[in-house]
Amino acid sequence: MKKIVTGEQMKLLDKYTVESMNVSSAVLMERAALAVADEITSGSFLTDRILVVCGSGNNGGDGVCAARILHLKGYNVSVFLTANPKKFSEGLKEQIQIAKNYQINFVKNPAYTEYTVIVDAVFGVGLSRPVTGQSGEILHQINESHVPVVAVDIPSGLHSDTGAVKGVAVKADATVTMAYGKPGLLLGDGQTYAGKLTVADIGVYDTGYKKPEKNEFCFFRTEKDDLRKLPVRRENGNKGTFGKVLLIAGSKNMAGAALLSGESCMRAGAGMLKIYTTNEIRDSILSNLPEAMLSVYDPEDPLTGQFHRDMEWADVIGIGPGLSTEPYAGKILEYVLKNKGKKPCVIDADALNLLSLHMSLLKEAAPPCIVTPHIGEFSRLTDTPVSKVLSDVPKSVRKFVQDYGVVCVCKDARTLTMVPGGYGYINTSGNSALSTAGSGDVLTGIILGILACSEHHADIRVIPAAVYLHGLLGEKASMRLSKAGVIASDLIEELTIQNKKLENG
């Protein structure tokens, strides 16, 4: 797990490094430029003619400095300054003077297609306003040239915190970002516009940086090493040790969702599973998942005495996959949230749509509650247009978590898990193979199973790792079957393979 910082946090870290650690900004700029030059000369790009396009700030200074390094290595490099000299930062002015001393070529109105690689150093992580006018035209021209681009810190025009395109943004083939990853390079359009991402160590550290306050974020990027945080199965344990899960799922013609969630729950390590469902799909579950216990109900009378006993029996509760949105399902959801006590409850699929009509239930429920919406479901939960959610997913999810005190696993091409306290975890595993019916049911089952076999059952710290594992299953299954060929049951098959690898270290 690696820390990711917002644009504002990066400014504070730069300031701390310069003012408290006495590292000059010129040293930081030199190291940033070296990292950019290394990327350009790594062998991935044709370096016959290099154009460095620079804006007015220190991002432009990094670009001019990189041009000088490349020039001294013998490369044919030119610099294009896009801004009014009156707006140049002091760092940029210094780098321009040094470059001129070395007789580096400065050009005006370049023909972009004449170059073999372009370095984008126009805007840095501080950009918040839309890019328009001459600057916007320059970014358009860079894109339309179809010349490979290396972006300095972040593709110009991309918001560093959200990944939103601010009017127009450069589509980079590679991005060299400084010190830490930025949320906008992973979320939204960022993952497409950034290209190959390299995080360069330039000597900026977070010594002295405080924890997030009320309206701040603290982001982390989940990685394969985080799988080590998943619970280790004790050899002296038993089925009770590894947790009892009550899964409230399935309805008439919707047995598949219950089966996918149920099997993935057990394959993820749960000791016991009981599925509470309608009588219509009883035989389907018994024949396809005999390992699960079963309680059935009549939709006319869903809140039976057996259900109350099942709730008391369980260590972890899951509700939603294939449940339906009929009134009886709403009664079950209300009962669960009012009577679960401190037991963790994972809320997914149909239960989320029911919940969106009665959000007071979530506010009144005892923690921990874990909601797992995709963007459309999140839009309904918050009564916010999808377009507005997508314009700033971290802010939207953070507010939701603050308002309701829940863990939110907001599913998208890059899933964001946010927990109370302002901590967010951006998942970097997975691919389009996960865009298949039932994939979310499998994720719900994995989260339930991992919570169940965790020592304290309510250890929400394992949830980002569970999300990473789910994404990894998509990657591995697509290697065997193709991205288009993966179906949800393939993810469960892959889960058994990956669990064996994890157990063997």
The pLDDT score that the predictor gives to residue 234 is 84
Spatial distance between the Cα atoms of 501 and 154, rounded to a whole number of angstroms: 36
The pLDDT score that the predictor gives to residue 369 is 97
Residue span of the structural domain in which 137 resides: 2-6+25-209
For residue 217, is it within any domain?
no
Say whether both 201 and 241 belong to one domain.
no
Distance of CA 166 to the CA centre of its chain: 20
List pLDDT tens digits, range 346-375.
999 999 999 999 999 999 999 999 999 999
Say whether both 149 and 244 belong to one domain.
no
Say whether both 182 and 274 belong to one domain.
no
C-beta of residue 217 within 8 angstroms of C-beta of residue 416: no
For residue 187, is it within any domain?
yes
Spatial distance between the Cα atoms of 292 and 362, rounded to a whole number of angstroms: 28
Alpha-helical segments (H) within 75-205: 90-101, 133-145, 190-193
C-beta of residue 466 within 8 angstroms of C-beta of residue 346: no
Say whether both 68 and 190 belong to one domain.
yes
For residue 219, is it within any domain?
no
Say whether both 269 and 410 belong to one domain.
yes
**Maximum alpha-carbon separation in the chain:** 86
C-beta of residue 247 within 8 angstroms of C-beta of residue 314: no
* Half-sphere exposure at residue 362, Cβ-oriented, CA atoms within 13 angstroms: 26
Name residue, tokens 């910082």: 5
- Please give the tally of structural domains in the chain: 2
Angle between helices 488-503 and 255-267 (to 10 degrees): 10
C-beta of residue 247 within 8 angstroms of C-beta of residue 258: yes
The pLDDT score that the predictor gives to residue 59 is 96
Q: Residue 432: give its domain's CATH number.
A: 3.40.1190.20
List pLDDT tens digits, range 209-258.
555 566 677 899 999 999 988 888 888 888 888 999 999 999 999 999 99
Domain end position, chosen among 177, 209, 241: 209
Say whether both 254 and 167 belong to one domain.
no
The pLDDT score that the predictor gives to residue 378 is 98
Q: Residue 60: give its domain's CATH number.
A: 3.40.50.10260
Tokens in use for 315? Answer: 């260590």
The pLDDT score that the predictor gives to residue 229 is 87
Say whether both 475 and 347 belong to one domain.
yes
Name residue, tokens 């149920």: 262
The pLDDT score that the predictor gives to residue 232 is 84
Say whether both 204 and 300 belong to one domain.
no
3-class DSSP state for residue 390?
helix
Domain end position, chosen among 209, 233, 252: 209
* Neighbouring C-beta atoms of residue 395, cutoff 10 Å: 14
pTM greater than 0.85: yes
Say whether both 184 and 244 belong to one domain.
no
DSSP classification of residue 99: H
C-beta of residue 492 within 8 angstroms of C-beta of residue 260: yes
For residue 214, is it within any domain?
no
Say whether both 195 and 240 belong to one domain.
no
Say whether both 230 and 107 belong to one domain.
no
The pLDDT score that the predictor gives to residue 208 is 56
Say whether both 118 and 255 belong to one domain.
no
* List of residues 6+ apart from 187 with CB closer than 8 A: 162, 163, 393, 394, 414, 416, 426
Spatial distance between the Cα atoms of 87 and 47, rounded to a whole number of angstroms: 30
C-beta of residue 171 within 8 angstroms of C-beta of residue 190: no
Average confidence (pLDDT) per 10 residues, the chain, 505 residues: 91 90 94 98 96 97 98 98 95 97 96 98 93 96 98 97 96 97 95 96 74 73 92 84 96 96 97 96 95 95 93 97 97 97 97 97 95 97 96 94 97 95 93 96 98 87 96 96 97 92 77
Domain end position, chosen among 182, 209, 236: 209
Supply the mean pLDDT for the chain: 94
